[in-house]
Amino acid sequence: MRQFASSGFRIWNLSREAKLIYTGFGLFSIAAIVVSMMFYEDLVGPKTAGVAGYYAGAAHARATSGPTATGVGPKIELPDEAAAPTTSEQLTVAVTYRKLLEVTHFHLFTVPVFLLIIAHLFMLTGLSSTAKTVWIAAGWLSAFVHLLAPWLIRYGGAAWSFTYPTSGALMGLALSVMTIYPIIVMWLPRRETTKG
């Protein structure tokens, strides 16, 4: 922790052992970002009901008005039992309040710790203070919006669906920069630090 408190210390001055530790953390972090993107793509991507369908629920069964066999009430068109249902024919139920709490609880304990670590490593690079501030703020803000997005979609409606992929893309970019750049810089030969 002394390194983070020292104003003149930079990441390339770390010992070889520390560089290996932080490089390993960075590589696993990149793997976590990629797997998270793959997981959410599979969960709410174009082959499914989408973000709005997953969080807000989307009834894809088509109801039409008109008499049924008994002559009363709406008629619901169902797919043929022999045919496998397609995504557009499946009924998608909204995520429950408890599930949202569960996912938010887990992410509120992991995302801040992850951001804390990579932001500290990023602070040791020779970038200007302004550049570091912008990237670190982008990481925290996008993470906050990404954690809030499922709640907005679930309780605010499908119109908020844009917040999920937008905040996810910004968070992926910010976290990738704050993870990859320190790995590259720590293994490069020493250079003059940039004041800013």
Alpha-carbon span 148 to 150, nearest angstrom: 6
Neighbours of 112 (CB within 10 A): 14
Nearest to 158 by CA among 62, 86, 60, 50: 50
Decide: 11 and 185 in contact? Cβ < 8 Å.
yes
* Residue 103 CB neighbours (<10 A): 13
Rounded to whole angstroms, how far apart are CA atoms 55 and 93? 8
Helix (H) or strand (E) holding 145: helix 129-156
pLDDT tops 90 at residue 182: yes
Confidence class for position 17, pLDDT limits 50, 70, 90: confident
In this prediction, residues 19-43 reach a mean pLDDT of 80
Q: What is the pLDDT of residues 75-84, one digit of tens each?
A: 666 556 555 5
Give per-residue pLDDT as tens, 105-135. Answer: 888 889 989 998 999 899 888 899 899 999 9
Q: Hey, what are 114's tokens? A: 């992850």
Report how far residue 84's alpha carbon sits from residue 6's, in angstroms, rounded to the nearest whole number.
Answer: 63
Q: State pLDDT tens for residues 46-58.
A: 767 777 777 777 5
Highest mean pLDDT among 24-38, 68-82, 93-107, 136-150: 136-150
Distance (Å, whole) CA 12 – CA 126: 9
> Is a pLDDT exceeding 80 seen at residue 68?
no
Instruction: Map tokens 């670590």 to a residue.
Output: 117
